[in-house]
Structure formats: C-alpha cells, structure tokens
Structure 1
Amino acid sequence: MANNHKETSKAILELWGDNFPDKATNYLAPDYKNHQMPYAGGNTSALSVKEWQELVTDFHKGFSNTKLEILLQIAEGDYVCTRWRITATHTGKFLQYEATGKTSSWTGVHTDKYKDGKMVESWVDWDKYTFLEQLGLVE
C-alpha cells in the first residue's frame, strides 16, 4: 500500500506542472486539508480541496514552463514524505505578485497522510524566500 501512496503523492504534486487540479478529486478525501507553511499569499493556511485547486489554477495563470522534480520520497505506514523542486517562469499575475518575467527554482517538502486509500491531509513546507528572491520580489 505504501508504494501506491507514493505514486498518489507524486501524481498530486505533478498537478502543479500540468494544470489539471480537478484530477485531484480522484485521490483526495472530501474533507482533505492542505496546510501551506508558509502560504504563498502570506502567513500560513489550511486549504480545502476547492481552495487548493484554486491555488494550483492561480499558479498556472502566473507561471509557465513549470518543471517539477521529485528529489526524494519516503513512505511509512499511512504517511508519504516527498522532497521536490519546482522551476517555473513568472509570466503572469500570481496572487498579489505581478509578473516579473524571471525564472525561479525552489524546493519543498510535502508530507501526506492517507486513510482508507485517500489522501486526507498534507503539510507543505517550502522555501518561499528563495521563490521570492529569485523573482526579485525581496532582497
């Protein structure tokens, strides 16, 4: 089962690259929560399935040439932990950030919890500072 969960976690992360977040409903429990630490728009957040899908859709409005790399994946029991890298070009508005035309590459760790074959919760810790610095949005 853990190997199946690893494939599901990888498929969910790949939605950041293919812009079809509605596919996620095949894998996510209806009460799924996605904890963004930090949230791209500021602070932290716990997103519902719909809110997470909106975030991915907004990301695709603001970024092109997106490439996701899985750097490491470990599964134990009902949990999968994935270290990833995303590289993308900021070609449109994303949340409060106007397009910069710059490319950014940042890493993060996604920890997913499964119950009854569905992903029920995720914790996303990512390098927001590098993301913003490479876009020229912070010094």
Structure 2
Amino acid sequence: MSEENIELVRYVTEEGLNKGNLSFVDDVFSPEYEVHTAGLQLPKGPEAFKMAVEFWKQAFPDFTCGIQEMFASGDLVGLRFRTTGTHTGPLMWMPPTGESFVVEGVDLHRVRDGQVVESWISDDFPRILFELGIVAEPTPPAGAAPPEGVALPKAS
C-alpha cells in the first residue's frame, strides 16, 4: 500500500502543482481533506488543493515542484521538494517583480483508501518574499556576533 500512496502523491504533485491540471482533484482528495499550514486557513475538501494551485499558478505561471525524495510509513507519505517560479502575475496585493525564487521544503500527506485526507505543508513564504525582493532579509545589528560555533553566511 505504501508504494500506491507514494505514486498518488507523486501524481498529485506532477499533474496538479506542476501542470495545473485540476480535473482529477475531486476523485483523489477526500471530501474531508484538511490542510495544515502556518498562517493560512483553507476550506475542507478538494477545494483547498484547487485554491492552492490557483494561488501559485496565478503569481508564478512557471511554478514547479521538483520531487527530490519521497518515503512512506503506514498511511503517511513524506515529500522533500524544491519549488521554483518566476513572479509574473499578482501575488495577493503585490505586483509582479519579474524575479525568480528557489525554495526547498518538506511536506507530509496522509492517504487512506486511495484518497489524500490530510496534508501538512511547509511553504517557506518568507524565503520566497526575500528572493523576490519584496521583503528585505533581516540583518544582524552592527557589531552583533553569532553564538559561539555558529557561522553566518557571507553577504553576496
């Protein structure tokens, strides 16, 4: 069953997120589907996935989610990914910047009886805003030193 669950999540990622095809969504997402993500309330059911795809594809028509690694344990499927996109459409109230982003993350999906019933999404939205130049990355105060043993990356 684990391999079937992995293939379902792979199909959802490739067809839905990458190709923007939503024709299958009502069949593979439970009517009780629930999304857990920081700071965002989505309705229950397949509509939540449709709204997420439309959100990303409107702002980033070339949005892609590259699967780097997948695993399953019981009814859970983990997905390590790299998302990319170019900001050519409106992102909420923010006009297009023409800038691109590359962000990595890990999501977890629960699959039961051939349907996705629950997802935990780890969008790194602040990183996306930094890379698009919409929000400036925070910088430590002058003279501040990192904790002992921690090296900060050098500014480019």
Show the 5 A alignment for 1:22-61.
22-37=23-38, 43-48=39-44, 49-61=46-58
Q: Given the two structures, how large is their TM-score scaled by the length of structure 1?
A: 0.87
Match of 1:40 in 2: none
Equivalent residues, number: 134
Give, as a single letter, the amino acid of the residue that structure 1 aligns with 2:10: K
Q: What corresponds to 1:122 in structure 2? A: 119
* In 1, Cα distance between equivalents of 2:10 and 2:61: 20
Alignment of 1:59-98 (within 5 A): 59-98=56-95
Question: 1:138 Cα shift?
Answer: 1.1
Cα pair 1:82 1:111 within 8 Å, conserved? yes
2:131 maps to which of 122, 131, 134: 134
Higher relative contact order (CA 8 A, sep 6+): 1
Which stretch has the larger CA shift, 21-30 or 127-136? 21-30
Q: Is the 8 A contact 2:56 2:63 kept in 1?
A: no
Question: Any runs of at least 4 consecutive aligned residues in structure 1 with deviations exceeding 6 A, and if so which?
Answer: none
Once the two structures are superposed, residues 77-132 of structure 1 have per-residue CA deviations (whole angstroms, 9 ceiling, x without a partner) of 10001011111111011223321111111112110112222110000012222111
Amino acid of the structure 1 residue aligned with 2:8: T
8 Å Cα contact 2:8-2:114 kept in structure 1: no
Secondary structure at 1:126 match in 2: coil
Tell me the SS of whatever aligns to 1:70: strand
Higher strand share: 1
List runs of 5+ in structure 2 lacking aligned partners.
Answer: 137-156
**Separation of aligned partners in 2, 1:21 and 1:98:** 26
User: RMSD value over aligned CA atoms?
Assistant: 1.6
CA distance in 2, matches of 1:12, 1:72: 15
| Secondary structure at 2:62 match in 1 | strand
Instruction: Report the CA distance shift for 1:66/1:44 in structure 2 as closer, same or farther (over 3 A).
Output: closer
Distance 1:18 1:33 in 2: 22
For the pair shown, which has the larger CA radius of gyration, 1 or 2? 2
